[in-house]
């Protein structure tokens, strides 16, 4: 729909749909894709093009298809998809998976198998593994189902180990860093380092980058040795706090803000 305003017609979504475009966009695999929010943000940055996505829940997968119809979506368990990829590449003997995952992988039809990403095709893997097992709001995070969801981190890392993308991004709740005395977090860092990746981690507040609420998230960036490891973006906004705040007579306030680049 067009709206008229001061002699100029403006599309409602003119700014939203104006995605930046770079010459060499990264061919991206989005795991635990949900409705495609992370893919949307990365595509709007201009550096990423989501070509493949994996989502377990059918309703979320349907929404993803609406948002990213150009991507090849696999509505399945990510362990099944990884098993299928390795089998299609002749590496079935190197795949350590449950019998159930192997059986389900063999049931994929030929059209799905032909769409699977192969090593050398994926430039960027991103995703936010299920966070219920790490969330501080979950009072039952010791349950069997929560433990299964925590183990999705291992499956996520396995995709990086086999496909070896140029870049890797993991997003999760703040408690991911401290859950299980930090063992899961340290395992993720150590695994990526052992694969030969450069690694950077941090906790960023979505509100500092334009979201109208305080929502802290943990991120792990990884880049292959021949690539440049991206810096965190500098915050654009700050939440009012009592520490190191200077108030002027005009009502203006200045507050110290931690830099994501220097940590100061």
Catalytic residues: 131
Chain center to CA of 227: 19
List, in order, residues 6 or more apart from 144 with CB less than 8 Å away. none
Q: Which residues pair with 8 in a beta bridge?
A: 5
Q: Are 224 and 197 in contact (CB under 8 A)?
A: yes
Query: Is the C-alpha dihedral spanning 231, 125, 93, 152 positive or negative?
Result: positive
Nearest to 84 by CA among 109, 52, 50, 49: 109
Nearest to 151 by CA among 178, 130, 127: 130
């Amino acid at each position: 729909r067009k709206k008229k305003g001061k002699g100029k017609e403006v599309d409602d979504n003119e700014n939203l749909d104006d995605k930046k475009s770079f010459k060499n966009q990264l061919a991206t695999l989005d795991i635990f894709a949900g409705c495609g929010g992370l893919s949307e943000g990365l595509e709007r940055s201009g550096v990423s093009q989501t070509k493949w996505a994996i989502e377990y829940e059918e309703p979320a997968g349907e929404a993803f298809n609406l948002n990213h119809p150009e991507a090849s979506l696999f509505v399945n368990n990510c362990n099944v998809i990884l098993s299928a990829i390795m089998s299609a590449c002749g590496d079935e003997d190197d795949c350590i998976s449950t019998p159930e995952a192997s059986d389900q992988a063999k049931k994929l039809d030929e059209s799905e198998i032909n769409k699977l990403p192969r090593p050398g095709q994926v430039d960027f893997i991103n995703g936010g593994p299920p966070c219920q097992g790490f969330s501080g709001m979950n009072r039952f995070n010791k349950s069997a189902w929560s433990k299964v969801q925590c183990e999705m981190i291992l499956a996520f890392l396995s995709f990086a180990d086999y496909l070896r993308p140029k870049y890797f991004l993991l997003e999760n709740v703040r408690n991911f860093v401290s859950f299980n005395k930090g063992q899961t977090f340290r395992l993720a860092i150590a695994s990526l380092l052992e694969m030969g990746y450069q690694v950077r981690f941090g906790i960023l507040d979505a509100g500092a980058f334009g979201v109208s609420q305080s929502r802290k998230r943990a991120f792990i960036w990884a880049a292959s040795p021949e690539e440049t490891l991206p810096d965190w973006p500098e915050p654009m906004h700050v939440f009012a706090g009592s520490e190191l705040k200077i108030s002027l007579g005009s009502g203006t306030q200045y507050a110290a803000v931690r830099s994501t680049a220097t940590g100061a």
